Amino acid sequence: MKDPIYTGAHVHHLMVNCTHAYCAHCGKGLSIVELRQNLACLGCLELAFDLASGDDRQTESDGMIIPPPPNLLGPQDMHRDAGKPPIGLISPLALVEEAKVMAHGAKKYAEHRWRGGISWQGVLNSLARHWVAYNRGETLDPESGLSHMAHVRCDAGFLLEYEVTHPEFDDRHVIADQEVEATYVR
């Protein structure tokens, strides 16, 4: 399936298969954000923005110069994400690995069981076990076959959620300042 897409000084064709979309001009895979919002890769959009803001570069496509569309990246598009978390900065690979851990947990326990809340200390213990195993050179958890760091992300996500949704399960052992000084400072 190829649809012409006008971005900047180029005519693009969007190449789509079942799971991936690519900018035919430069061949870069499109992220979900690029696909939903722009239908072109960010590099080509940067060129379009440069052209729209007065950059005098001209690029030929099939022997003719194609001007950027007048409203491709107008001022109305520059503020849509203002004040919102930049979700696009999160590694998609890490997110997928974390989702694999969640799927493993759904099979082992029950889907969405974690949403009911559990002992924070239990989650901290799990996080620490995976962190220590990874730190000593073990990349994959032997039980699940999944990344120890993905387990750490999962456990950290639970704790972030529980801070808001289940403070009643906060059973961390809080060490008083005097105990810390007596135990750790010499």
pLDDT digits (tens, 9 = 90+) for 22-71: 554 566 666 655 555 555 566 665 554 554 455 444 444 444 444 444 44
The long-range contacts involving 35-43, CB below 8 angstroms and separated by at least 24 positions, are 38/7, 39/5, 39/7, 39/12, 39/14, 40/5, 40/7, 40/12
Residue 185 lies in a domain: no
**Alpha carbons 83 and 59: distance in angstroms, whole number:** 35
Residue 110 lies in a domain: yes
**CA dist 171 → 106, 155, 162 (Å):** 24, 15, 12
77 with 143, same domain: the answer is no
Could you tell me the residue range of the domain that residue 103 belongs to?
Answer: 92-169
Q: How many domains does the chain have?
A: 2
161 with 106, same domain: the answer is yes
123 with 150, same domain: the answer is yes
User: Residue 88 has what pLDDT?
Assistant: 87
Residue 136 lies in a domain: yes
7 with 59, same domain: the answer is yes
User: Residue 6 has what pLDDT?
Assistant: 41
Residue at a domain's end among 26, 50, 84? 84
User: Residue 22 has what pLDDT?
Assistant: 59
Query: Which residues does the chain have with pLDDT short of 70?
Result: 1-80, 180, 185-186
Residue 175 lies in a domain: no
Residue 41 lies in a domain: yes
Q: What is the SS3 assignment for 15?
A: strand
Residue 177 lies in a domain: no
Task: Determine if the pTM surpasses 0.95.
Answer: no
User: Residue 43 has what pLDDT?
Assistant: 63
71 with 96, same domain: the answer is no
Residue 184 lies in a domain: no
